[in-house]
Amino acid sequence: MTVDAWFEFWIENIVGDLAPNTRRNYRERYVNNIQPVIGKMPLRDVRPMHCKKILIEMDADYAGSTIRQTYIAMGTMFRSAVMNGMIPKHPMDGVRYTKPVRVPSDIK
């Protein structure tokens, strides 16, 4: 199963009861940031280096809060894959995100 196929199953069947905005955010982060890097990969082949690459590629163009949303979406999606026996190990184990999220008063 590819990451694309898992995402579609996950978003429709596993997190389908989440708030519409949460599902929309997950889909936007997936389509815009995650899918271009790992979407065609087999789910079982995704490693921490691939997840980190997604976050690094976002660093220059995205706010910290958007990168944090991507981190959360990936973590939730892969945690569900582990829980459902699709992969043996969470590919984000050891992946850290360090770009600070600015408070609105700091944004000009």
| Domain residue ranges of the chain, discontinuous segments joined by + | 3-106
How confident is the model over 36-93, as pLDDT tens digits? 999 999 999 999 999 999 999 998 889 888 999 999 999 999 999 999 999 999 999 9
Residue ranges of alpha helices (H) inside the chain are 3-9, 20-29, 35-38, 48-58, 64-83
Pairwise CA distance, residues 93 & 51, whole Å: 10
Architecture of the structural domain at 3-106:
Orthogonal Bundle (1.10)
pLDDT of residue 1: 94
